A and B are shown apart, each in its own frame.
Chain A
Amino acid sequence: MLIKPAPDILPSEITPRAVFDDRRRIVLRAGLGLAAGAALWPAAIPRARAASLGSLPSPFSTDEAPTKLDAVTGYNNFYEFGTDKGDPARNAGKMALRPWTLQVEGLVGRPRTFDIDELLKLAPLEERIYRMRCVEGWSMVIPWNGFPLAALLKQVEPLGSAKYAEFLTHYDPEIMLRRPVLHWPYAEGLRLDEAMHPLTLLTLGLYGEPLLPQNGAPVRLVVPWKYGFKSAKSIVRIRVVEKQPATAWNLAAPQEYGFYSNVNPAVAHPRWSQASERRIGEFRKRPTLPFNGYAEQVASLYQGMDLRADF
């Protein structure tokens, strides 16, 4: 009798331990959800259908209280869809999220184009609850779902000459701003060691659900120790390069937005202080922490650098 070996189980198919242990409660909750869904039908259907992203917990997560979902999905900077904080939630729904590919090219041994559904299975998804500090002086705590960007970059095998990663984002003038408020398509960049840092997250979801368009669906970057604009949204191309790439905000106002843009309470933006921030949902401001509180993990990346000059 021939016993066939079981087909390989993808890591993303393995039920996380927490979910397994919690299965009875989850089933119960799903049942309640169905009942509630039936009561609210058809309004509740899209929500019920959205596949929850099973994610592993991460030691990098903060235990601070996450910002409310409606603030995270309703108060956004995504200038392609308008410069008002409410514009992205109003307008980004026009963006088609499938088919979507992410092309990784440049100084790599194995350039490759990833389909978005391939990306979702590339590495086990983790939940990373990160602080997010906007350069404008407000902050949130957001439970992201994703995996380290390093997992993706390792697959394409960066060459020895590679020094930086450039991130190019989706631009469609049919549905996005045509006025050149910034240089379109929006581009961001990281030094390769920053890109490979375990905190740097290739992000596919938040609050356990696939990203909404206004949050940079279907795939974005999250670099928690840098100001929010470094975390490019709706990425279509990553280029591994030798020279420091041009970045959108740096092009727009080089004296205000440096390439590094690490969160730094000691370096004021020319037009406002960066010493404190307002956490969305809180009344009083709180002090801003060096590297947004991730100094222990990332400060060594910048040893010997003058962070006032390389702001």
Chain B
Amino acid sequence: MKKLRAPSAAQLAAIKLAVFLLCLLPAAQLALGWRADALGANPIETITRASGEWTLRLLLITLCVTPLRRLTGLHWLLRLRRMLGLFAFAYGTAHFVTYLWLDQFFDWRSIAADILDRPFITVGFAAFVLLLPLAATSNAFAIRRLGGKRWQALQRSVYAIAIMGVIHFWWLVKADVLEPLVYALILAALLGARAWWREQERRRQLAAPPPARHLQKKTIRIVPMGK
């Protein structure tokens, strides 16, 4: 139990490696499936669909880190977040490249028409573009350069990106919204938990009486009784 709370450096490295390999699994499956011609009758659709779904899943998993950490007290989970976020970006890139290359075959006119005229593509494209600065600043150098506060404010755009991702999926389906609905509910729970905690925090601060004016900036000496 104690080990789970505070894994050693070696243990953490092993956990990171395991998560890294797990995140690669869907990509490996697609790559092998493509080579073996085992991706069904419409392999390009299979790849587009799978890469899109994994982008969304990894975004949601990334958003799970903070609530999970809060609920379990396992603070080292935070150390996985950057990798998870970058994998979400990697699958998003694969999804976008699949669309540009395999689906549209760099037919730029058709691509431009899609982005401008078709709301589900517009919102998906915008979400991908917004992911770029997040991926570019996912390193210690960028945090130092931007300063923690500004870096955090920038990274918070992931909330909007996740919402756009779910909308992208919702608007794409023809009739059966069950699957996008599941993603929407999970995202609502993850964002709702944050909003709720934030509200609790605000109330707690309001409830705590501010220090009296005449005591501000004064040193209070606590003297033991009876002396």
Contact = CB atoms under 8 A, between A and B. Distances in A.
A268 B117 contact: yes
A79 B176 contact: yes
B42 A138 contact: yes
B171 interface: yes
A275 B172 contact: no
Interface in B166-184: 171-172, 174-176, 178
Given A273-B113, A284-B105, A182 B175 contact: yes
B91 interface: no
Interface in A177-203: 179, 181-182
Contact of A83 (B42, B102, B117, B175): B175
- Main secondary structure, interface of B, reads helix
A136 interface: yes
A249 B120 CA distance: 20
Interface residues of B, number: 22
Contacts of B114: 272-273
Interface string A39-81: 0000000000000000000000000000010110011000100
Contacts of B105: 284-285
A90 to B, nearest CB: 13
B29 to A, nearest CB: 16
Contact of A75 (B40, B102, B103, B171): B40
A23 interface: no
B117 A74 contact: no
A156 interface: no
B11 interface: no
Contacts of A249: 175
B175 A85 contact: no
B176 A85 contact: no
Interface residues of A, number: 30
Most buried by A among B44, B120, B175: B175
Contacts of B41: 68, 70-71, 74-75, 85, 280-281
Interface in A261-280: 268, 270-273, 275-276, 278, 280
B110 interface: yes
B176 A83 contact: yes
B174 A136 contact: yes
A278 B45 CA distance: 10
A146 to B, nearest CB: 23
List 3 A-B pairs, minimum CB-CB distance, nearest first: A75-B41, A71-B41, A83-B176
Given A70-B41, A278-B42, A281-B41, 12 more contacts: A74-B41, A75-B40, A79-B175, A85-B41, A138-B42, A252-B175, A268-B117, A271-B171, A273-B114, A275-B110, A280-B41, A285-B105
Interface of B: 40-42, 44-45, 102-105, 110, 113-114, 117-120, 171-172, 174-176, 178
Interface of A: 68, 70-71, 74-75, 79, 83, 85-86, 136, 138, 179, 181-182, 249, 252-253, 268, 270-273, 275-276, 278, 280-281, 283-285
10 contacts: A79-B175, A83-B175, A85-B40, A86-B40, A252-B175, A253-B174, A271-B119, A273-B114, A275-B110, A280-B41
